[in-house]
A = this chain, B = another copy of it.
């Protein structure tokens, strides 16, 4: 099975998948409702612009087309082959495709890695075969691909619904959900550019599609249903870039599995919370939403292709209750109610009856007709303090809803600001709703949804414009750090020893509290004299954990007598279980705030860096913030400012503030360390004493676990 890498051709462009000039359907069937029939039908009825070749050795004609016995028997060239044969025939079919110089396969057939054992082996062979011939694979175990570009018009799925053309590219990791996605997209009015059900992702997955869709001019936003990220660092690298010009919105499921995953380290045991995963996505510019419904809701507002300049929303309504619901939901979604300019208020005061309210929400009261909405929206939409508009209309019996909807449509067209409508009551789904749909004004049945969707739009805008400044170039003693790691690995140890820890941290400019390891009480006194009183005495023994909780740490020893007494006590209590007991003499530092830094390697998300406050804050309150490695300075600032107890860093109860810039620098240095030393599996600096401004900070205790690469 092995083959020289040199011979391998470059993998074909994904144009072979999404813009093929011709398609073979291998396993085409004459019987309606069979997948091998439905794909041919969808291709033909969808008006695919190239030839479709049914392939089936047992059929002469499929869907009124001549049927070929195998792909290599097709007279013309074939760019893409869709494979619908049973899994045991897939390899043979793929080989035949390779002979025919097919550029890409969409493998619908199930029975591969998802069933394990034989299936996994079969998938590995398929991947190897395709690599050898530069063929791309979508699937296996998927429901196909689709491109609504009229120059291609390809529906190579077996779905019952065809979406309307539009700007959303959609990746679904679940085949069956793809069926629902296409139906919902059509029903909810989300237009699609391309769709891919990626199944087992043997080749094409989220990173590849992010890259491809980045360049597709018809694709204006990218939507994904994911159950796992695949290669998290590749996903992140592409997402970071793409999300700067196209919104990327994701539903990531499989949370429960993530929660149940075995915790591999201190830091690891804290990662994987839902909030943590949300912020990890945000870090690479991706908006994660809770549900498929939210995904579509966000797509509906994103397809306006208007990004708000700020978070200030104006609400114009003919009814109080829905406006209050919208206000609450705006605030919950991180938006603000715009404060209208005095000139706007004056304009409204002139145009509106005295019972109306011309503060925001602007309540035109139940008697408002199209003309009153027109006057109010004219003033409000133009207001420079307004970034987004929600127009609410509850149909009272005496007002013509269609005329009001016309006014909404006109004001939406006349502005670049995001503008959404809520038609409540009986009008929903009738003439007025059709007017809004035709004008591209998103219309929501519930004001809370309108607010939530605008909140999402604002988040997309923030993600697009987030700070991308790279980290500064630190002076690092890279070789010294590597030597410390390699020494431990050479000695067959996963955990770094005290001296190696010191070397590694110091090499990366991370200050460590002065300390000495000693075996005898006299040496302890000598070490204390050298370090300076007062000192801390800690037991240092493999296998004794929770030193502090078990009284293995004695603080604030001010003279040799106190130190020797402490020695004796520790020796008496711990020697029985640790005959090779050593002790650590450490300078006592307490001017500062105990913080916590950690790194871990998450099986799903890759390498993570954590920051929090030390002591009970990390252990009991779990007040820890995670980001994916590598960190940008903006990420590091978010981490430091993102803990619940951040006020403790700002100085409370008469204490001075700590130097937050130094904490940010620590995070960036740790990220640099991870880049240089992928052998680091886990690292805990706990506590790191963050000094008040002008006072030295230092690591008080550290732990580093390596892995062999």
Contact = CB atoms under 8 A, between A and B. Distances in A.
7 contacts: A174-B321, A177-B394, A179-B424, A254-B324, A293-B445, A616-B648, A620-B647
B426 A183 contact: yes
Interface string A292-325: 1100000000000000000000000011111011
Contacts of A620: 645, 647-648, 652
Interface string A340-369: 000000000000000100000000001000
A5 interface: no
Contacts of A332: 255, 274, 290
B549 A653 contact: yes
A279 interface: no
Given A256-B327, A291-B446, A428-B187, A395 B321 contact: no
Interface stretch (A31-39, A61-69, A559-567, A656-664): A31-39
A331 interface: yes
Contact of A176 (B34, B177, B184, B394): B394
Nearest 5 CB-CB pairings of A with B: A174-B321, A176-B319, A177-B321, A180-B424, A291-B448
A158 interface: yes
A397 B33 contact: yes
Q: Counting chain B CB atoms within 10 Å of each CB, which of A34, A161, A274, A425 scores highest?
A: A425
B616 A331 contact: no
Given A176-B366, A549-B653, A425 B161 contact: yes
Contacts of A654: 548-551
A174 B549 contact: no
Contact of A652 (B321, B394, B619, B644): B619
Contacts of A426: 160-161, 179, 183
Contacts of A647: 620
A177 B551 CA distance: 63
Contacts of A158: 396-397
Contacts of A632: none
Nearest to A423: B180
A519 to B, nearest CB: 27
A491 interface: no
Interface residues of A, number: 80
A644 B327 CA distance: 29
A398 interface: yes
A172 interface: yes
B325 A183 contact: no
Contacts of A160: 395, 397, 425-426
A419 interface: no
A428 B159 CA distance: 14
B398 A179 contact: no
A337 B177 CA distance: 20
Contacts of A623: 621
Interface string A1-36: 000000000000000000000000000000001110
A398 B33 contact: yes
A407 to B, nearest CB: 18
Contacts of A115: 355
Nearest to A294: B448
Contacts of A548: 653-654
Nearest to A398: B33
Contact of A291 (B329, B645, B653): B329
A548 B175 CA distance: 63
Given A33-B397, A34-B398, A254-B328, A292 B448 contact: yes
Given A161-B426, A256-B327, A394-B176, A449 B293 contact: yes
Given A177-B394, A620-B647, A645-B616, A172 B448 contact: no
Contacts of A293: 445-446, 448-449
Given A160-B426, A328-B256, A184 B445 contact: yes
A477 interface: no
Given A174-B324, A395-B160, A620-B652, A255 B331 contact: yes
A595 interface: no
A207 to B, nearest CB: 20
A162 B38 CA distance: 43
A173 interface: yes
Nearest to A158: B397
Nearest to A644: B621
A673 to B, nearest CB: 29
A398 B259 CA distance: 36
Interface string A178-200: 01101110010000000000000
Contacts of A331: 255-256, 259
A273 interface: no
Query: For A321, A332, A652, which residue has the most chain B Cβ atoms within 10 angstroms?
Result: A321
A467 interface: no
Contacts of A227: 321, 324
Nearest to A445: B184
